[in-house]
Amino acid sequence: MQMLTGMGLLLILGYIGGKLASKAKLPPLIGMLVVGVLTGPYMLNWLDPSLLVVSQEIRTFALIIILLRAGLGIKKEHIRQVGTIALKMSSIPCIMEGLTVLGLTYYLLGFSLAEAGMLGFIIAAVSPAVVVPSMLDLKGKRLGEDKQIPTLLLAGTSIDDVIAITLFTFFLGLGTGARESHLLLDLGRIPLSILGGVLLGGVLAYLIVIVFRAIDRRYTEKLVLLLGITIIFVEFGEYIGIASLLGVMTIGFILFELIPRQSKEFSLALGSLWVVLQILLFALVGAEVNIQVALDAGMTGVLIILVGLVARSVGVWLATAKSALNPRERLFCMIAYTPKATVQAAIGAIPLALGVEQGATMLAFAVLSIVLTAPLGALAIYASAPRLLKKAE
């Protein structure tokens, strides 16, 4: 089946899957994930291989759209309200989960330290593909907005992935000898990566505003320029090693501060575009899931992933300890930080491709973490939010 035909099929079936999930009182993304699993290469194999080759690029583009849209809805006072706690939320839970999985696989499965570290931080990353759209939905419903809980989780998720991927890269270098690995240097790159993403995103946003004020064009034409610039920025950011997805949110945030009227038009247009892209994003994430590989991880895999999630939840509780959040809101943050999908699908197979001895087991754990947490995490977010979060006036 040709790539465009496969894309059309995904859009139609993903739309139907989303509607059926909504009818069953489930988040639409669960239906889209299921469609991806069923049509993917490990089940019915209806998708052209060329579509799967560009799957990562399509998913990245969808994330750019949703993170830019998220930034276009964040105000300066929101950042002041959640800034410090967002940094804690982005680091403490991720590191606690990664180290817990590292310890369990090292002692229970006999992994080397490097292999256990790779798996620990493959599993530790939270999924922006699930969390970011969910938080934007909650912002639209005004749930948790009085204390900016969706904004807190939006910011925390973006930085969480930077930390997980950086530490995964350190252990990958340690285990493969592909480069010299120095823990302190790699840890030092994390704040530099975050700062670099924010600063470059901020500079780019100011330049965009200058250009937009100098040209007399319709919002749609300016939006085309904005999307082109942000895509190149993300690719360039990944090349030089900065938190480029966090930079995309920064671009949206500064545009909203400087040109609010145009930003609202951009946000509306991106919302319409997201209707299409969310289907491709979740369906293509589902297409990466090999159920048989997930089953290979067995009950040991389930146990290790669940204990890791407990450690993450403890980390969230510690990170929010001295905040203004009440126990119910802190519980919601714990639930919202459980889904895995994007990072696990992107890097789960890298150790196997590089010939790491336990690479097949790592891939099985990565896939199992998606199967367990993406649908259940999304369902738990939508089910718990009305009960645990206060609706802002």
Query: What pLDDT, on a 0 to 100 scale, did the predictor assign at position 316?
Result: 96
For the chain, what percent of residues have pLDDT higher than 70?
97
Query: What pLDDT, on a 0 to 100 scale, did the predictor assign at position 245?
Result: 84
Query: What pLDDT, on a 0 to 100 scale, did the predictor assign at position 181?
Result: 57
- Which residues, including other chains, have CB under 8 Å from residue 161's CB and lie 6 or more apart? 125, 126, 128, 245, 342, 343
Q: What is the DSSP letter of 216?
A: -
Provide mean pLDDT across the span 23-36. 89
Per residue in 296-318, pLDDT (tens digit) is 888 999 999 999 999 999 999 99
Q: Is the pLDDT of residue 386 over 60?
A: yes
Average pLDDT across the chain, whole number: 89
CATH architecture label of 55-388: Up-down Bundle (1.20)
Query: What pLDDT, on a 0 to 100 scale, did the predictor assign at position 365?
Result: 93
CA distance 313 to 301: 18
Label residue 182 by pLDDT band (50, 70, 90): low
Provide mean pLDDT across the span 57-67. 89
Residue 8 has a CB neighbour count (10 Å cut-off) of 12
- What tokens appear for 233 in the block? 């920025």
Angle at 344 between CA 94 and CA 341, to 5 degrees: 90
Provide mean pLDDT across the span 109-133. 93
Per residue in 78-92, pLDDT (tens digit) is 777 777 888 899 899
Domain extents in the chain:
55-388
pTM of the model: 0.87
